[in-house]
Structure 1
Amino acid sequence: MENIKFRDSKISKSIAELAKKSDHKILALWATDCAEHVLSYFMEYCPEDSRPREAIEAGRSWVRGEIPMTEARAAAFASHAAAHDIDQPAACAAARAAGHASATAHVAGNAVHAATYAAKVATYATLDPAEASSCTAKERDWQYQRLLDLQK
């Protein structure tokens, strides 16, 4: 199979601009939604590894005020360790998305990184290289609409 390279869609700039204007907790919710949207790609390869799922839940728990930022950040590190443990590109990117989603509790800018890794999952999960850019664009469109919806 041909190696598929990630090429971001044009809407990524609009996402970044909207994110700059967004509340920290809205960004954390959005980042966890982006990570959860692609989590199945990690679970398919590592069904017994709960670290990315726990990172997503930690991010949401932080938003609800149930855990301190330090706990969410620890879950982020664990999810990144899960990414390091796997060599399948889509699964690795999904774990990184979850890690950045949880890390958004610490630094709001991590939300955009979570979304970018989720978009990478859409690219890497594509079996046909000719379809990669449309899969990435579809994921980015979903992300942009989700962030808009959370602003309401």
Structure 2
Amino acid sequence: MTPKADAIELSEAELRDVTSFAAACARTALGFFEEAHPSDLRPREAIEAAEAFAGGGRRGAALRTTAWAAHRAARETASPAAQDAARAAAHAAGSAYLHPLADAHQVKHVLGAAAHAARALELAGGDDCAVGEREVERARRDAPPGVRTALSKLPPAPAGGGRMGELMRRLDLTLRG
């Protein structure tokens, strides 16, 4: 049986910072999805919903709806870069629902969009790991204070997840450093 995670305090400002960061990261990869599927707006709508919340909007049903729609878009494309771009968008919209629990899996709500965006850029760059590492460094530089604060309340990113998981753990370590 998995032990129950402790509750943590998350301010609305921290949630908005996390969501703003996630949306900005997802936006860096959006073009890979839109190039493959120019008439499919689901990932764009997820990012826009995340940006609306980050900018002071309500945390309502549109965030959840667009997040799930972007996840479906990821499953429906054959392009690996487009898949990760759509997953980044889905994580951006879902980041507003970071649970106030000290659980390592909550780190995915904070950094999932950044890691998937970095992986999309890597894949589009010929699976060049240096591309992903540069994106992780850019994300580290651009992370607002609320991202670091939220991460400080959580355990380190969990193991697993393949290359995307590696990128997430790398970003997690650099933001906590």
Q: Is the TM-score greater than 0.5?
A: yes
Name the structure 2 match of 1:83: 74
Name the structure 1 match of 2:167: none
Shift of 1:23: 1.6
Q: Which has the higher contact order (CA 8 A, sep 6+)?
A: 1
User: Does the CA contact (< 8 Å) of 2:32 and 2:82 recur in 1?
Assistant: yes
Equivalent residues in 2 for 1:53-92 (5 A)?
53-92=44-83
User: Does the CA contact (< 8 Å) of 2:92 and 2:113 recur in 1?
Assistant: yes
Secondary structure of 1:104's counterpart equals helix
Name the structure 2 match of 1:24: 15
Name the structure 2 match of 1:51: 42
Shift of 1:104: 0.7
The alignment status of 1:34 with 2:25, answered yes or no, reads yes
Could you report, residue by residue, the CA deviation over 1:76-129 in whole angstroms, capped at 9, with x for unpaired residues? 0000111111011000100000000000111264131111101111221122x5
Shift of 1:65: 3.5
Structure 1 unaligned segments of length 5 or more: list them: 1-19
Task: Count residues in correspondence.
Answer: 127
User: Does the CA contact (< 8 Å) of 1:73 and 1:105 recur in 2?
Assistant: no
Identity value in percent: 31
User: Which consecutive segments of 4 or more residues in structure 1 shift more than 6 A?
Assistant: none
Secondary structure of 1:87's counterpart equals coil
Q: Distance in 1 between the 2:55 and 2:69 partners? A: 21
Shift of 1:61: 1.1
User: Does the CA contact (< 8 Å) of 1:58 and 1:67 recur in 2?
Assistant: no
Name the structure 2 match of 1:151: 145
Shift of 1:133: 1.4
Give the root-mean-square deviation of aligned CA atoms: 2.0
Name the structure 1 match of 2:123: 124
Structure 2 unaligned segments of length 5 or more: list them: 1-9, 100-105, 147-177
TM-score when normalising by structure 2: 0.66
